[in-house]
Amino acid sequence: MEPVIALLVGLFTAVAAYLMLSRALVRVLLGIVVLGNAVNLLIFVAGRLKGPSPPIVPAGQTSPVGYVANPLPQALILTAIVIGFAMFAFLIVLAFRAYQEMDADDTDHMRLAEPDGEPRPPLEY
């Protein structure tokens, strides 16, 4: 099962890289979402996919019996999903505001912070 998911992670990462290389901001944002999901899957498979039973310690024992699912990656992914979602929500609003203010979705046309065609720096004082 792990190799299949590992391949899927690779596919997601490739798609994300392709989308993020675009100049259109919307595609870049889509790439970021796909990359986030690739990483979530990666953490999931890094914890190994062992056994279908839930990680519950039986009464009177100090550790679970037999193979159980690894609970730690699930906790990590849950955190990562929440954080990633918040960041993505911010970036979408930011992209929309940038579109309103600069009338551009193409990052090549966002040149306010780094103006194009500036004259050369002075050579004397």
Partner 1 sequence: MIDHLTPLADWLVILPVVLCLLGAAVLLMLRGTVRAQRWVGLGVILAVLLCDVLLFNRVMDVGPLSMTMGKWLPPFGISFTADMLGVGFALAGALATLCVVLYLQSDTPEPAVRDGVYPLILLLLAGVSGAFLTGDLFNLYVWFEVMLIASFGLMVLAGHPLQLDAAVKYGVLNFVATTLFLMALGLLYGLVGTLNMADIIGAAARADAAPLTAIAALFALAFGMKAAVFPVNAWLPASYHAPPPGISALMGGLLTKVGVYALLRTLVMLLPVARESLAPVLLAIAMATAILGPLSAIGETNLRRSIGFLLIGGIGLMLLSVSTVEPFAVAGSVAYGIHAILTITALYMIAGLIERATGQTDTRNMRGLYAANSTLSLLFLILILAVSGVPPFLGFWPKLLMLQGFMSDTQWLPLFTVLLNALLTLVACTRLWSHIFWRGTAEKASVPFRALAATWLLTAIVFALGLAPSIVVETARTAAKGLLDPELYIAAVGLAP
Q: Is 84 in the site for partner 1 (CB under 8 A)?
A: yes
Q: Is 68 in the site for partner 1 (CB under 8 A)?
A: no
Which string of x and - marks every residue 10-49 that binds partner 1 (by CB under 8 A)?
----------x----x--xx--x--xx-xx--xx-xxxx-
| Among 52, 108, 117, 125, interactor with partner 1 by CB under 8 A | 125
Backbone angles phi, psi at 117, to 5 degrees: 60, 35
| Among 101, 106, 116, 117, interactor with partner 1 by CB under 8 A | 101
Q: For residues 27-58, b (16+ Cβ closer than 10 Å) or e, as one string?
A: ebbbbbbbbbbbbbbbbbbebeeeeeeeeeee
